[in-house]
A and B are shown apart, each in its own frame.
Chain A
């Protein structure tokens, strides 16, 4: 028998005796009616020991391209940023990753202090008063923020957002709002790739405006104008932000945003095919009692020592049940730990450098696109680390495939998000990208053109 069991046959015999049960079968039969018991083995693969499993895993892993085997220019909400060794080293400590939710504060001060530090870092990063200890991911964080806003603005039911907000975030909001009394209004993106016309859609029924900056296309929004217009109409503003961008850009708090949310994968967390990720959420102090999820706070113990506890738990589902703000129970502590370690290593200068490199590399790649015959930039205005490219030949799918064959994940095809953009792909550049990689990327795109020209000639 492979696995992690302890009991020997002798143990089992002694334990059954102590219980006063005749056999394991009897112990089960006494409790589970025999007519619902399974009378055969489940149809599952036979037990595999560690060597077999290792071999099988390596076989399956080898069939996948990834950011290690390929150069990654893909983004759209998940990015190939560098992860310093210290992050992996700390997060692989069993004392962190095999511990439970810190309900028993006396034996969880490590995790609780990390949560408190994480919350402080997120506050410093966003310029907002309070952060929770994490949510599932960017999409569900945006959705929880919308639910917070609806609960705060009881008599308003409209949620206004823009086509330049991550399509999957909008999908999640949509799914959550379907069976409750609220509607999602999506204002189409303007021609320059921004959302300024969202202002015309804000009315006295609008509970909140959900805006992304830098937006899904990497473009920068006029946050001040949008925030002021929303506030003038009495609506709350939710900004989906990019944590790395805050090394350079004004913070959500600088604009007077009420709730800021983000995908924190970029802060020291691996791509991992989309999860587990890190949902970040921060808000003004007025909204703290509506904040979903867990929050760590400071207090003192019996002996007067400063210490940390989970607090404001009366907001939570296990106390309030059907009256709870949210049903969220587990969060993403281990990923929040990674983000905390990452931000500690970077500090203000490291974050600024990382953001600056993203800007420079992205600009470099855009210049190469401008120089090409086949491709063009869809938007000309400033971007942070991502931009949209149009393929004049309208052959994005085979273009991406041939680049993958050359070892480059060249971008994210847009057709899956918007059929009208089937000739476009989204390109992201992190601080990891180099001159040579950008050249290779361009070459992989251009050589597809050459191959095609050759094909057409024959």
Chain B
């Protein structure tokens, strides 16, 4: 009973002369000023946007929303994405007047309450990371990576050291090497060993006086905490290089261990993962970074400082400048602040413990259906492999992902990290009940038991099934165009 009419494209629903939003007519003197722009700047007519009534718009977007899975409606065991519950109180609190309607260039004196909150968040992130220099400016995790690498680049330039190489792990997020490239570095990849941890011999071989930064994810994308972490960070520091921690997996270690304590010099947080900022269909997120004190002078400005007269916005002395306009993704940062306040220090630790518990519980069930190459212990997520299933039954990781949708679960992450063949990456988070995890495991059990013929038709219950990605990329149609008359 899908409403086909309402889910046509806006442009197909458009009727000339329909209107929704109207402005009051200008009166008196103002009305005489409408034509004050010279003709040479003006278009002959306004852009050809669709013309709709308000009811059209509401029904259209409401119906479209029902075609999405979401955290509010489904379990998302998406490895690397930390799809935890998005607290409703955070939505209300971040929308209060005095927060949602503040202009970014207002005088600091007129926004002391907001600055107090963000200053406290700076402190919180410094405490959770163990790294005291904090910038809230970057807009996303990858943006934080780039920002931190620009900090490192300036730091080494000031030292007069010519270090132009960034090392990344082969299990790293693809953003790591891409960020390094953008900051003017070349990259080399450090191999993982058979256990899925950093291959120390390979790291040693690739470290030299040209190395600027080793970008590390810990726990790594296999969900493993690298037990050699002290050895790794000491080794990198001995060569005069810095350790960058990709904070995508911080949900595993809140209050348990701190990047600053195990040797990281710079890191980013993903508040939209760790601190429950809603993903919004792919954004907005945020990517605040934390650095050691000796790097704090390089952070982008403005940062919030506290003085006797109240809170001020200042730019650090040797700042790399700006990486975006204005202050940062404040709306997401406010939600992160509310989240940290909700749990407190012991609560945050419990969050990570439950995340680790849930992942290990699911691992203990999944290992009977799929191979889990890196052992039967993990932190907040684990990576199974459909490799054997593919050889034996021609069922791939993608087939599993598509079929699980029919059982009312979002798919796990597949084909990442690249170090595992036919990877199926599962992260339950702490906000899923044991019953949900049991139901998911049961569904997975039924999926891997199916025949090749059945599974390759999947999904069967969704609005569409197996879109043709190849022709989408080969002959891109990236916008609607009016049908040829």
Contact = CB atoms under 8 A, between A and B. Distances in A.
A421 interface: no
Contacts of A59: 113
A6 B320 CA distance: 43
Interface string A185-214: 000000000000000000000000000000
A48 interface: yes
A215 interface: no
Contact of A64 (B98, B143, B178): B98
B98 A297 contact: no
A7 B357 contact: yes
- Chain A: interface size category: 35 or more
Interface in A330-359: 330-335, 337, 340-341, 343-354, 356-357, 359
Nearest to A18: B364
Interface string B76-120: 101001011111010101001111111111110111111011001
Given A53-B93, A172-B322, A299 B342 contact: no
A64 B113 contact: yes
B154 to A, nearest CB: 8
B41 A100 contact: no
Contacts of A89: 58
Contact of B20 (A11, A311, A345): A345
A391 interface: no
Interface string A1-36: 111111100011011101111001001101111011
A346 B357 contact: no
B453 interface: no
A382 B37 contact: yes
Contact of B401 (A33, A72, A77, A104): A104
A98 interface: yes
Nearest to A431: B23
Interface in B318-353: 320-332, 338, 340-351, 353
- Chain B: interface size category: 35 or more
B194 to A, nearest CB: 17
5 A-B pairs with the lowest CB-CB distances in the bound complex, closest first = A274-B326, A63-B113, A179-B184, A274-B104, A94-B72
A98 B279 contact: yes
B239 to A, nearest CB: 20
Contacts, number: 703
Interface stretch (A119-127, A371-379, A443-451): A119-127
Contact of B466 (A301, A320, A401): A301
Contact of A61 (B99, B379, B471): B99
- B86, B100, B109, B405 interface centre (most CB from chain A within 10 Å): B100
A420 interface: no
A264 interface: no
A348 B47 contact: yes
A155 interface: no
Contacts of A258: none
B478 A110 contact: no
A92 interface: yes
B411 A104 contact: yes
9 contacts: A44-B348, A60-B99, A69-B97, A100-B78, A106-B464, A275-B329, A275-B332, A276-B330, A324-B177
A327 B350 contact: no
Nearest to B320: A175
A56 B340 CA distance: 14
A33 B73 contact: no
Given A56-B341, A271-B101, A360-B36, 6 more contacts: A63-B113, A95-B73, A121-B49, A136-B143, A172-B324, A317-B177
Nearest to B352: A28
A42 B229 contact: no
Given A18-B364, A60-B117, A106-B464, A6 B434 contact: yes
Contacts of B253: 32
A336 B310 CA distance: 36
Nearest to A74: B103
Contacts of B442: none
Contacts of B466: 106, 301-302
B49 A309 contact: no
B10 A117 contact: yes
Contact of A175 (B85, B279, B323): B323
Contacts of B86: 94, 97-98
Contacts of B22: 350, 353
Contacts of A172: 321-325
Nearest to B457: A302
A80 to B, nearest CB: 7
Nearest to A12: B357
A361 B469 contact: no
Nearest to B321: A175
Interface stretch (B198-206, B282-290, B385-393, B444-452): B282-290
Interface string A107-131: 1111101101101110111010111
A328 interface: yes
Contacts of A412: 105
Interface string B444-485: 000000000000010100111111110111001111100000
